[in-house]
């Protein structure tokens, strides 16, 4: 009887052509067959958004057999990162994936960035479909960022999740600092942080105002050593278990006492 390889579904928010996703495919393709479905261009900041008024298209960009013998398909979609996962699960996957992987993102997705991140949108969608899901991000926005130091960590985490799975409703948000050598690995929580000065106003030569969304991030608890921001600032790889259930359980009794 034929033994099927694990199937890895990979997406991102930087686009199918980004260096990060290309290197991710190369890092993990010996673990199983790989199906990439990623945006046709950058979709950073799209979080869990999906398209309801735009028709979606799929384009096969590449198919090849990896040196390991694994089959790799790379598809692009004109939608959001979540659209890519939904479309892949509906139209492209020959079977339910064994794992959904987001990244490798160009730029960090720590702290409150988790809520804005299209890379995290990928794994939250996988998580809500009860598929073990992991996001990888490097704190380097450059197009030619060096992802090679991440290789042993990406491979080890992928292997462990394939072997052991994750609790239902839980995914992993993995962020890597840019350092000469990693200080180690920290399993940690999201830091409390805020974005300020987020809107920059300009005057167009044709006589109207326009704005860019920019901003400055502030870690609101810089001394807390159990957070992802602290870990990254001190050279550690930060792994944050993240869940799809956003219920504030501690507030249930408080709200219940309102006697509405």
In terms of Cα–Cα distance, which of 159, 125, 160, 121 is closest to 137?
Answer: 121
- Report how far Cα 66 is from the mean position of its chain's Cα atoms: 24
Could you tell me the pTM of the whole model?
0.93
Cis ω before 46 (30° cut-off from 0): no
Please enumerate in sequence order all residues whose Cβ is within 8 A of that of 63, keeping only pairs 6 or more positions apart, or say none: 71, 72, 73, 74
Neighbours of 169 (CB within 10 A): 12
d(CA 191, CA 255): 25
Peptide bond into 140 cis (omega under 30): no
pLDDT tens-place string over residues 137-164: 999 999 999 999 999 999 999 999 999 9
pLDDT for position 22: 95
Instruction: Please give the mean pLDDT across all residues of the chain.
Output: 93
pLDDT over 90 for what percent of the chain? 83
- Residue 92 — pLDDT band, cuts 50, 70, 90? very high
Cβ atoms of residues 19 and 99 within 8 Å: no
Report whether 135 contacts 171 (CB < 8 A).
yes
Nearest to 34, CA basis, from 2, 73, 1: 73
pLDDT of residue 1: 43
CA distance 110 to 140: 13
Q: How confident is the model at residue 69, as a pLDDT?
A: 81
Please give the average per-residue pLDDT across 195-207, as a whole number. Answer: 91
pLDDT tens-digit series, residues 96-113? 999 999 989 999 999 999
User: Per-residue confidence at 2, pLDDT binned at 50, 70, 90?
Assistant: low
Q: What is the pLDDT of residues 57-89, one digit of tens each?
A: 999 999 988 888 889 999 999 999 999 999 999
Q: Is the pLDDT of residue 236 over 80?
A: yes
* Token duo for residue 3: 């033994």
With beta carbons less than 8 A apart as the criterion, state whether 169 and 245 touch. Answer: yes
Nearest to 143 by CA among 105, 98, 185: 105
């Amino acid at each position: 009887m034929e033994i099927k390889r694990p199937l890895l579904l990979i997406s991102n928010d930087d686009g199918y052509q980004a260096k990060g996703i290309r290197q991710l495919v190369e890092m993990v393709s010996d673990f199983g067959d790989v199906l990439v479905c990623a945006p046709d261009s950058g979709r950073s900041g799209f979080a869990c958004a999906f398209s309801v008024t735009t028709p979606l298209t799929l384009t096969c960009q590449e198919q090849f057999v990896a040196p390991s013998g694994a089959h790799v398909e790379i598809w692009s979609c004109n939608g959001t990162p979540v659209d890519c996962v939904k479309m892949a699960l509906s139209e492209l996957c020959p079977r339910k994936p064994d794992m959904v992987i987001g990244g490798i993102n160009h730029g960090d997705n720590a702290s409150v960035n988790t809520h804005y991140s299209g890379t995290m949108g990928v794994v939250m969608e996988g998580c809500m479909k009860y598929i073990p899901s992991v996001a990888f991000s490097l704190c380097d926005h450059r197009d030619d960022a060096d992802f090679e130091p991440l290789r042993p960590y990406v491979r080890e985490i992928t292997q462990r999740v394939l072997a052991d799975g994750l609790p239902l409703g839980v995914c992993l948000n993995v962020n890597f600092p840019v350092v000469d050598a990693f200080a180690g690995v920290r399993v940690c929580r999201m830091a409390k942080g805020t974005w300020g000065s987020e809107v920059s106003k300009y005057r167009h030569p044709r006589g109207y105002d326009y704005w860019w969304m920019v901003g400055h991030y502030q870690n609101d608890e810089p001394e807390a050593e159990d957070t992802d921001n602290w870990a990254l600032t001190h050279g550690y790889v930060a792994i944050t278990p993240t869940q799809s259930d956003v219920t504030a359980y501690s507030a249930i009794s408080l709200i219940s006492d309102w006697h509405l």
